[in-house]
Chains A and B, each alone.
Chain A
Amino acid sequence: MTSTLQKLNCTQCGAGLDVLGGGRVLTHVCSYCGAELDAQDDYKVVAQFRDMPRPRTPFDLGMNGTLWGVDFTVIGTIAWQEYHAGRTWSWVDHQVYSPTHGYAWLSVEDGHVTFTRKTRDIPRPALVSARQIETSETRPSVRLGGERFLYYASGRAKPTFIEGEFNFRPSLDDTADYVTLLGETQMLDILASGSEVEYELTHLPDQTDLLTSFGVDAARMPKPGRRHPLDVRERPPIQLFLRNLAIGAAAVSIALAFLVSLRGETVAVSGKVPVSVEVELPFTVTSAEALTEITIWSNANNSWAWFEAELVDDAEAPVAAFERGVEYYSGSDWSEGSQKARTRLRLEEGNYTLSLAMSEADVDWTGGVEASQMEASVRTGVANPWWLVAAGVLFGAIGAGFLAQSKLSQSGRWAGSDWDDD
């Protein structure tokens, strides 16, 4: 906690400076002349920073706001730049101070404001080395407080602007090596500076609440670029409910379709007969509500056979006539076609006779055997399950859409990562 000193004059240029931080502030960098003053030794000048371009940030020294119920004051500003492979990244860190919760950071990058604070917990493993990042097949990971963090990015940054109070001694000559790992709701930074390693946790506060609380002028806030990796878009419960409902409905529809396909009663079977004879198969339909299924089987193997069928009623009047082919081909690890062909008809109640004869057959595949036998069977009371199958496919597509959206949302969080799977 600081004593009652609230203002001082810069010992270099005489400008009036506000004292906003607590007793653990080590350095005060004059906003006017860039002199670095030793806050623990009568504000003696210990360094002089020059040619510092002021960064674009909506936060000024002395701004107050509340984060998760705790009051913080902006006491310092450091702008950082990182160069790599011809690209430049820049961001601004503001040191903030709370008499009860100590020192933390508000960072402005790519139009987002994050809150970062030091943690004394040490992750396992404690370090992610550059060599590990270079050679690892999968993203390196660490565990901290029961949460798993996956590698997100790493680099080396240098300050370009320093102003205000800090609980350490920043310098324009400093470099900071960082490794950032992403968890479910927070990021973990492993910071190496000299022989010291520090760990920081970053959260993404509600942006509107934060900016309102600190009284930030919206016009000064840079427009957000890509989505922030901590922007976990929690889907409303109704969406999760609908996803589960769709997947459940798809499963039920397919299961019902299977059960429905088993319905029906076999009422006539010709038995296997040579294909040279014509099959005459009488049968009776007792209900016009359901379908009648006629199945033609033949032992065509790596060959095909063509059958002509005619259906007549009690008065020998033609009711239906159709042709069906049976073709079946197979190899050591494949097969195609079927030795069965099915036809479904809607018939009125009454007696019928099915006439079936093979009209043509041929072998057109190596090792094929021409059809020599055939069989006809009739099943009545059959239901058509295709509408249930269609419903299952439709519901499945809806469920898959929700899952794809979730996957897309997850991959969006990692869009800014510098990890390359190759």
Chain B
Amino acid sequence: MFTCTPCGTTSVLRDEAWELAGTGGVMQDAPSLVRIGEQVEVEGLTLMPVGHARFGYGRGWWDEFWCLDGEGEGHWLSADEGDYALERPLAPGDWPSGFRPSLGATVTIRGETFRVTEAETAVCLAVRGEFPEELEIDEAHLYFDLAGPGGQIATFEKWEGGEAWTFGVWLDPWDLRAA
């Protein structure tokens, strides 16, 4: 999926053909340590943000950046008022079984215990750039953040079209550097 910067429309690649999917929504300007097209160094990786999605939770919002590293691998870099996390999609084979999404629930991922610390229903407010999946404006996403040992984070995301797991680490904003 990508957003056309001049006209603000989004297109989705289906069956090797681009289809018009709607608009990219309104992305209000806000101070940020991460911007599309500006490389950042984090966790020993040099990442290029290529997609920017904003999710609203009523009173506020947070940003998700789809970034590519030097090997072309994709990472989600989330920024929420000083809380930054770097996560990679978890392969379906690693998805935990029997997870019942609720605050305080525990689950084992890659041999480590994770606990749900935050649950949020968020609406996709705006998208810019390229993404590995289709994001629809005004679509509701149910998010569960899980905390693991050693500053690890896992996120379970559920929306009308499906669900996904990501896995990674919390970042210190003071360690985030422009490359």
> Residues of A at under 8 Å CB distance from B?
1-5, 22-25, 39-40, 68, 71, 97-103, 119-122
Contacts of B62 in A (CB 8 A): 1, 23
How many Å lie between the Cα of A176 and that of B40 in the bound state? 38
Query: Which of A4, A5, A100 neighbours the largest number of chain B CB atoms within 10 Å of its CB?
Result: A100
Is B59 touching A40 in the complex (CB atoms < 8 A)?
A: yes
Given the known interface contacts A1-B81, A24-B81, A119-B172, the answer about A100 and B32 at a Cβ–Cβ threshold of 8 Å is: yes
- Interface: B60 (CB within 8 A): yes
Please list the residues of chain B having a beta carbon within 8 angstroms of any beta carbon in chain A: 28, 30-33, 56-63, 79-83, 149-151, 170, 172-174
Q: Is the pair B173, A120 in contact by a Cβ cutoff of 8 Å?
A: no
B63 smallest CB distance to A (angstroms): 8
B143 to chain A, nearest CB (A): 14
Contact indicator A40/B81 (Cβ below 8 Å): no
Q: How far is the CA of A276 from the CA of B111 in the complex (A)?
A: 96
A-B residue pairs in contact (CB < 8 Å), sample of 24: A1-B63, A1-B80, A1-B81, A2-B59, A3-B56, A3-B61, A23-B57, A23-B58, A24-B81, A40-B58, A71-B31, A99-B30, A99-B81, A100-B33, A100-B173, A101-B173, A101-B174, A102-B83, A103-B81, A103-B82, A120-B172, A121-B151, A122-B149, A122-B151
A358–B178 CA distance with the chains assembled, in angstroms? 91
The docked-state distance in angstroms from the alpha carbon of A160 to that of B32 is: 36
In-complex Cβ contact of A99 among B31, B83, B149 (8 A)? B31
Which B residues are CB-close (under 8 A) to A23?
A: 57-62, 81
State which of B59, B80, B83 has its C-beta within 8 Å of the C-beta of A3: B59
| A220, B137: Cα distance in complex, Å | 50
| Chain A residues touching B, majority SS | loop
Q: Which residues of B contact A25 (CB under 8 A)?
A: 59
B59 touches A39 (CB 8 A): yes
Q: Which of B57, B60, B80 has the most CB of A within 10 A?
A: B60
Chain B's nearest CB lies how many Å from the CB of A387?
57
Contact B82 A102 (CB under 8 A): yes
Contact A100 B58 (CB under 8 A): no
Q: Are B80 and A24 in contact (CB under 8 A)?
A: yes
In angstroms, Cα B176 to Cα A102, docked, is 13
Task: Decide yes or no: A100 and B31 within 8 Å by CB, A22-B60, A120-B170 being known contacts.
Answer: yes
Distance (Å) between the CB of A223 and the closest chain B CB? 31
Q: How far is the CB of A186 from chain B (nearest CB, A)?
A: 12
Interface centre among B33, B57, B81, B174 (most CB of A within 10 A): B81
Bound complex: CA of A23 vs CA of B59, how far in Å?
5
Are B150 and A122 interface neighbours, CB within 8 A?
A: yes
- In the bound complex, residues from chain A placing their C-beta under 8 Å from that of B170 are 120
Question: Whose C-beta in chain B lies nearest to the C-beta of A2?
Answer: B60
